[in-house]
Amino acid sequence: MSQLTLEGILEDLQRQGEKDSSGRFTMDPREALPKLKHFLLPDPHAYVLKWLQAAVCGGASAFRLTSGTYKVQVEIPDIRLPLASLPTIFVELLQETRSGEAALEHLAVGLHTCLGTRAESIALEYWDGHSGLRILWQTTGQSVQPWRHAGPPLCRLELHRARQDRWRELKEKLHGRAALSMLLSLSSAYDNEQRLLHGTCDLAPLDVFINGRRLLTSAQSFRKFQGFFPSKLIFRREYCFPPGDGPGFRLGPGEQAALSLGRSEGNHYGAYAASLQRQGTHHLVLMRDGVVLRQMQMDAPDPAYLLVLDGYQFIEDERFREFFRKAQQFGQDPGPLTLPKL
């Protein structure tokens, strides 16, 4: 193989005779490939978002991205993963072999997607606190070795960029990005992975670092609501709702409205509703497992409203529009502090 591909990985797994929990090896690459294609993301660099979702679902305390011209490294401390399932993680998405572990599935989609970046090699190291392993995927196949690490659970992922992509990245740095921005690590100099993480993960319920710099909580998502003269109190009213069964999201510390209800220690929530200082447009931010998936707007003749919701699924139909109308009423009179239902 001249390029690292999913087909090559599956064929190598078959040659090695990896077995399922019943002791039988049932995966046929020709049958598996069409099924797994449904899990590819349109942007291959979005693999980094799936890895962050894996971190959130796995109970990690932080997500540390170090991205450069030659390689990308991600460290996820305190994440919990099923060690025995990692050598066959690429078939984790198949219905017949799926374990139901959300963190493992996110990680699998991310690994599957990052093959689209034409990576030369991908390495995964995982330590569960007692034992660990290192998996290396190369054009020559997959290898699995024991790996030791002192301390609590840790997952480390490393992607080596393809040679042609290294030259393209270097060319962009030299000609397409301001030298001062790169020296100061400003967002205008971010590469694809850094840009995606910076733009969609500032509400994640863990600490996110981009090349050593901590991503400020809710700074990107709420920036558009700041006035010409930035103020701490950017909303008229705000209501915070507990996270419930999902991982939820995290807001910055401190109240951001003159009237604030529901704030709790840790600033960890499942929904957030705020009445804006101006008329114009309702804003709806949809999240899942620490990543902003969609941001939608609707015209509002009355004072506009912001809703941040974790784990909701929306289809833009009449029920969706009715939800926004109820949300507007909620903004005027929150009543018993119960969000409108879809």
pLDDT per residue as tens, the chain (342 positions): 457 887 787 777 777 665 444 444 456 666 677 777 777 888 999 999 999 999 999 999 999 999 988 899 999 999 999 999 998 888 878 766 667 799 999 999 999 898 888 888 999 999 999 999 999 998 888 899 999 999 999 999 999 987 766 555 555 555 555 544 444 445 567 889 999 999 999 999 999 999 999 999 988 888 888 766 666 788 888 888 888 788 999 998 888 888 888 898 889 998 888 888 777 788 889 899 999 998 888 776 667 788 888 886 666 667 666 766 666 666 566 555 555 554
Expressed as residue numbers, the domain containing 86 is: 6-215
Secondary structure of residue 240 in the 3-state scheme: strand
- Clarify whether residues 231 and 249 are in a common domain: yes
Question: Same domain, yes or no, for 200 and 78?
Answer: yes
Asked whether the beta carbons of 39 and 46 are under 8 A apart, the reply is no
User: Where are any strands of DSSP class E within 78-231?
Assistant: 121-127, 132-138, 141-146, 154-160, 207-210, 213-214
For the chain, give percent helix, strand, coil, nearest 5: 35, 30, 40
Which token pair is 87? 């050598």
How many domains in the chain?
2
pLDDT the model gives residue 117: 85
Asked if 29 and 88 touch (Cβ cutoff 8 Å), the reply is no
**Is residue 340 included in any domain, yes or no?**
no
Beta-bridge partners for 64? 75, 209
Q: Yes or no: say if 266 and 294 are a contact pair by the CB < 8 Å rule.
A: no
Same domain, 57 and 129: yes
pTM above 0.75, yes or no: yes
- What pLDDT does 28 receive? 66
Nearest C-alpha neighbor of 65 from the set 192, 220, 234, 224: 192
Q: Can you give the pLDDT at residue 335?
A: 58
Q: Is 95 exposed, middle or buried (0-12, 13-18, 19+ CB in 10 A)?
A: exposed
Strands 235-241 and 257-261, by their bridges, are: parallel
**For residues 29 and 10, is the Cβ–Cβ distance under 8 A?**
yes
Check whether residue 176 and residue 271 sit in a common domain: no
CA distances from 193 to 43, 64, 249 (A): 10, 12, 21
pLDDT at res. 198: 95
In a domain, 337, yes or no: no
Of 174, 193, 215, which one is at a domain's C-terminal end? 215
- The pLDDT, as a whole number, for residue 22 is 45
Looking at the fold, whether 178 and 310 belong to one and the same domain comes out as: no
Looking at the fold, whether 161 and 64 belong to one and the same domain comes out as: yes
